[in-house]
Amino acid sequence: MRVTPRTLQKYKETARPIVTLTAWDYAIARLVDQAGVDVILVGDSLAMVALGYENTLPVSLEAMIHHTQAVCRGVEKALVVSDLPFLTYQESLSQAINTAGRILKETAAQAIKLEGGHPAMIDTVARLTQLGIPVMGHVGLTPQSVHTLGYRQQGNNELEATRVTQEAISLEQAGAFAVVLEHIPATLAQTITEKLAIPTIGIGAGNYCDGQVLVTADLLGLSEKSPPFAKQYLDLGKLITDAVQSYSDDVRTRQFPPNLVP
């Protein structure tokens, strides 16, 4: 049975933790989906893990659509959410509608995610949801604001905590079906989670959220540098390097391919 935003709401109501991972191509998406995750996020983090950029800012809408199409081909059950890339939704409401509409029309994604909870963004979320576009919000550390916020933890003083909390509440009121809480204190994430009726998905926000998300490249050991709150479950990078070196040795010593006897 396909996971939907309504499914996630039921999970929150029954205290069933929501499992979320990212994907950037067909192969990874197929494996992640078969493993049984609830949500697959085609995050703009693909700018770093798939395209080699330093941060998320350079990735284009065309690239996000291209990768989301590939991910969707590999998914049968999980809810697929696609990020709106930097400056494809902040200029105007009409731009945001066009961008979100293109993703839903040109891919099989069921929802979009955007960053921020300031008043202009709340108006955008409200309009998108009125048009029937499911929206996942994102507050706390917002990577598209890297040149303003850096990668430091957010919400670690009273003023910031109040701002992050109000942004999350406003996103819910605007119609968002879930909110990502990134790199904020666990106690603040707990407070927000208890205040919201919609699910919270944490990343570097402690264990009190309704679910968790990791960048799959960090989980698999494929990232050149992972954030301090990520957990590496496998050193796939080393396994791949070792396998390629073994293949190279076999070719250079003429042990591969074998000479087949007719």
Per-residue confidence (pLDDT) for residue 262, from 0 to 100: 75
The residue-averaged pLDDT of 23-41 equals 98
Asked whether the predicted pLDDT for residue 242 surpasses 90, the reply is yes
Question: What average pLDDT does this structure show over 144-156?
Answer: 94
188 or 150, which is more confident? 188
Q: Once rounded to an integer, what is the mean pLDDT over residues 242-246?
A: 98
The average pLDDT across 216-223 equals 98
User: Quick one: average pLDDT of 223-235?
Assistant: 94
What are the contacts of 213-222 at 24+ separation with CB within 8 A? Answer: 213/20, 213/21, 213/22, 213/39, 213/41, 213/180, 214/20, 214/21, 214/22, 215/21, 215/22, 215/43, 215/45, 215/49, 216/21, 216/22, 216/23, 216/28, 216/32, 217/22, 217/45, 217/49, 219/21, 222/49
Predicted TM-score of the model (pTM): 0.97
Contact 138, 182 (CB under 8 A): yes
| pLDDT at 261 > cutoff 80 | no
C-alpha to C-alpha distance for 199 and 233, rounded to whole angstroms: 25
Task: Please list the active-site residues.
Answer: 182
How many CB atoms neighbour CB 144 within 10 A?
22
pLDDT at residue 57, as a whole number: 98
Give the burial class of 129: count Cβ atoms within 10 A of its Cβ; 0-12 exposed, 13-18 middle, 19 or more buried.
Answer: middle
> What structural domains and CATH numbers belong to the chain?
5-235 (3.20.20.60)
**260 falls in which pLDDT band (50, 70, 90)?**
confident
What confidence score (pLDDT) does residue 167 get?
98
Cβ neighbours for 185, distance < 8 A, ≥ 6 positions apart: 153, 155, 156, 161, 205, 206
> Is the pLDDT confidence value at 25 over 90?
yes
Q: How confident is the model at residue 217 (pLDDT cuts 50, 70, 90)?
A: very high
pLDDT of residue 196: 98
Q: What is the pLDDT of residue 152?
A: 93
pLDDT digits (tens, 9 = 90+) for 73-113: 999 999 999 999 999 999 999 999 999 999 999 999 999 99
Query: What average pLDDT does this structure show over 203-223?
Result: 98
What rounded mean pLDDT belongs to the chain?
97
